[in-house]
A and B are shown apart, each in its own frame.
Chain A
Amino acid sequence: MRRLTSHLGPLIMLAAGLFFALGALTSLDLGSFRRMGPGAFPLLVGGLLCLLALIGLMQNLRAPMAVDRADPMAVLGVFGGVAAFAFFTPLTGVLPATAVAVLITGSVIDGFRWSHRIALAVGVSAGVWLIFVQGLGIPFIAIRGL
């Protein structure tokens, strides 16, 4: 099973190469050798990527490269943090969104006490306000309705 997953790596690359090469072939003008169209270069590089992916696949069939085990909680924590930032910024402004994002990302780290997580969230929000709003003068809505 692990061996099969290992082959997925080069296969993803093959898919990407095919996507660009076929996309260039079917929907873009290739032009001539002298006056190349917008499709020529992507076709060339996409083709090269396919070739490399096939070589990589052959290497992998002989000696499969190890695959690292994914950590779903870490992905979830980071994903949740960023998504929360993007979701809350239009609703509440940047600073509350920052605090929520810090709390969510921090919540997947074991052994990180809640009091410390909250302190970090407040501290980082204050830092963002100081650096980005006060220091750099970026026109953010810091807290909506304030």
Chain B
Amino acid sequence: MELLDNLMLGLATAATFQNLMYCFVGVFLGTFIGVLPGVGPLAAVAMLLPVSFYLPPETALVMLAGVYYGAEYGGSVASILLNIPGTPSASVTCLDGYPMAQQGRAGVALFATAMASMAGALFGVVVMILLSPRLAEFALLFQPAEYFSVMVLGLVAASIVSSSGAVRGLMMVCLGILLGTIGVDVNSGETRFTGGIPQLRDGVSLVVVAMGLFGISEVMVSLRGATQSYAGAGLTGSMFPSLSEWRRSAMPALRGSAVGSFFGTLPGTGQTVGSFVSYALEKRINRNRAQFGKGAIEGVVVPEAANNAAAQTAFIPTLTLGIPGSTTMALMLGALMIHGITPGPRLIADHPELFWGLVVSFVFGNIFLLILNIPLIGIWVRLLRVPHHYLYPTVIVLICVGVYSISNSLMDVWATLVFGVIGYVLRLFRFEPAPLLIGFVLGPMMEEFFRRAMLLSRGDPGVFVTRPGSAALLLAALLLLVASLIPWKRWLMRGRDAAELKDGL
């Protein structure tokens, strides 16, 4: 049994004391920032990037991944108790979670959320185990033209989910790619766009861009509204659902997991879309649908199962194709590249301990998360009552120290500040920074494959549409672009819910 051998290898990697410890640190921090509305997993992963340079690659990835999926658990706490989603993908959970809390059943809602999250995540892990090796084998057939096209698909997918429209998303992607060209061109050795600044020869550092765009500019946006605290948050009622609630939740959890797993694998869509679609679907087919929106337990189970399943399956395109399923995934790709590991179809074959170790660590991480979110839930509820003004100055300093620690360079700190200001200005003009970062990470690889494909085709740009694989991928990108013009969100949610949800997205 090859699969069993692989899982044993993964277990051996994941179960070392160091990896278990960093897995716990990751999911703990993930829950922490997931619980707090306003700070996303993206900023947290960006802040941990410099720390991860001091760790072996598999340990670094285990920790960063833990932050990522841990935030999905934490995100629902504020949704249920305060009607404010802690993370965007938890916004659907508000619809039934908050009514449940108002009826004095917050405990049950939180318990159901944790169980559904666990179920969804494990479902996603199984899908990942079964699908990734196949997909990687298939992708080994890819030639440079296909690689280029799959990246185009990933970038288009990442830009159309931008809430200010596909055109603006694509602009940010292009800007990201262009920023990625700064520095020495690997093919010719010529420097590009450095303006004679020697430090720019190695290019702009990913950590600097990520921390500036997401850390600094996010704090600039939220800093001054920071004195409120959510004193009203409280845990009410018993935690344990009744037997009938257990029974009613089983099938919705399964359906949510399946829908979430599917959307997680699509590059660029991820958890938020998964939770939306699964909720909309469940609302059409569930026998208890009349109760939806009024505190139905199915209404929290479905989106939470979906977004956690999607959080796991988002690793499939990231690790098998090198196409990030989301912005946070792009950062993780960046972390891998900094450790000298090229993401792509060869990753599973070349670094089996990394891939399988990560997969097995997901199982451990989810067990940790269940413990953190059921017996220890009281900590997080209390955390919500701490005023936020303690948080933001701390974040700013952690960014400074983190950036400085990479190479003891204050130049990097100043550069981060510059990107922070750029990010802030772009936000004011309603340009979202997420697609920029994905473009920045994928850009250099894209150029490389583009040039290689043109070399192989002897200068014929038709190669991208005459090779069937590449043509299919480009067609998919085009279809996505056209589909983005349809207001599907309104269509799916229809009417009242859509109005309630628009703040969450």
Contacts and interface: CB of A to CB of B under 8 A. Distances in A.
Contacts of B424: 70, 75
A49 B168 CA distance: 10
Contacts of A103: 393
Interface string B42-78: 0000000001001000000000000000000000000
Interface in A72-94: 73-75, 77-79, 81-83, 85-86, 89-90, 94
B478 interface: no
Interface SS of chain A: helix
A48 interface: yes
Contacts of B201: none
A98 to B, nearest CB: 5
Q: Give the interface centre of B168, B227, B413, B460 by most chain A CB atoms within 10 Å.
A: B168
Contacts of A65: 164, 429-430
A140 B167 contact: no
B199 interface: no
A52 B190 CA distance: 28
Contact of B193 (A23, A40, A89): A23
Interface string A25-50: 00011001111111111100110110
Nearest to A138: B405
Interface string A114-127: 00100011001001
Interface residues of B, number: 66
Given A33-B454, A38-B188, A112 B396 contact: no
Contact of B167 (A46, A56, A139): A56
B171 A108 contact: no
A127 B389 CA distance: 17
B177 A81 contact: no
Interface size class of A (residues with CB under 8 A): 35 or more
A13 B171 contact: yes
Given A32-B459, A65-B164, A89 B227 contact: no
Given A55-B167, A59-B167, A70-B428, A77 B223 contact: yes
Nearest to B170: A52
B413 A29 contact: no
Contacts of A33: 454, 459-461
Interface in B386-422: 389-390, 392-394, 396-401, 404-405, 408, 410, 413-414, 416-417, 420-421
A34 B455 contact: yes
B450 interface: yes
A136 interface: yes
Nearest to B187: A38
B45 to A, nearest CB: 17
B175 interface: yes
Nearest to A48: B174
B397 to A, nearest CB: 5
Given A105-B223, A105-B392, A82 B188 contact: no
B393 A38 contact: no
Contacts of A52: 167, 170-171, 174
18 contacts: A10-B171, A33-B459, A34-B459, A41-B450, A42-B193, A49-B174, A52-B171, A55-B167, A66-B430, A71-B224, A77-B223, A78-B216, A85-B400, A86-B400, A86-B410, A110-B224, A120-B390, A136-B405
Interface of B: 51, 54, 164-165, 167-168, 170-171, 174-175, 177-178, 181, 185, 187-188, 190, 192-193, 216, 219-221, 223-224, 226-227, 389-390, 392-394, 396-401, 404-405, 408, 410, 413-414, 416-417, 420-421, 424-431, 443, 447, 450-451, 454-455, 458-461
Interface of A: 6, 8-10, 12-13, 16-17, 20, 23-24, 28-29, 32-42, 45-46, 48-49, 52-53, 55-56, 59, 65-71, 73-75, 77-79, 81-83, 85-86, 89-90, 94, 98, 101-103, 105-106, 108-112, 116, 120-121, 124, 127-128, 132, 136, 138-140
